Amino acid sequence: MDAKPFILVTGANGFLVTWIVHRLLENGNRVRAATRSLDRGTYLRELFSSYSGSLEIVAVGDMTEPNAFDKAVAGVEGIIHTASPVTTVADDPEELIRPAVKGVTGILESARDHGTCIRRIVITSSCAAIVDTSDVQVTVSEKDWNDQRVQECETLSRNASGLSKYSASKTLAERAAWDFVDANKERISWDLTTINPPYIFGPTIHDVKDPDSLNSSSILYYNAVVKNNFFGADPLTSPSHAWVDVRDVAAAHVKALETPSAGGERIIVSAGSWVWQDMINTALSLPGSIYRPHPDVTGPKEVTTRLITFESGKQKRILGLSLGSLEECVRDILLDYAKRGWYP
Residue 310's contacts (CB-CB under 8 Å, 6 or more residues apart) are: 127, 130, 139, 140, 141, 198, 242, 268, 270, 273
Report CA torsion sign: 294, 298, 301, 306.
Answer: negative
The answer to whether residues 122 and 190 touch, using CB atoms and an 8 Å cutoff, is: no
DSSP state of 36: S
Instruction: Please state, as a whole number, how many other Cβ atoms lie within 10 Å of the Cβ of residue 338.
Output: 15
CA gyration radius for the chain? 20
Instruction: Please state, as a whole number, how many other Cβ atoms lie within 10 Å of the Cβ of residue 66.
Output: 10
Report CA torsion sign: 126, 127, 128, 129.
Answer: positive
Do you know the residue count of the chain? 344
Residue positions annotated with a catalytic role? 170
Separation CA 77–CA 230 (nearest Å): 44
Helical segments of 7-145, H only: 15-27, 42-47, 94-114
- Three-class SS state of 242: strand
The answer to whether residues 97 and 168 touch, using CB atoms and an 8 Å cutoff, is: yes
DSSP state of 174: H
DSSP state of 323: P
Separation CA 146–CA 266 (nearest Å): 14
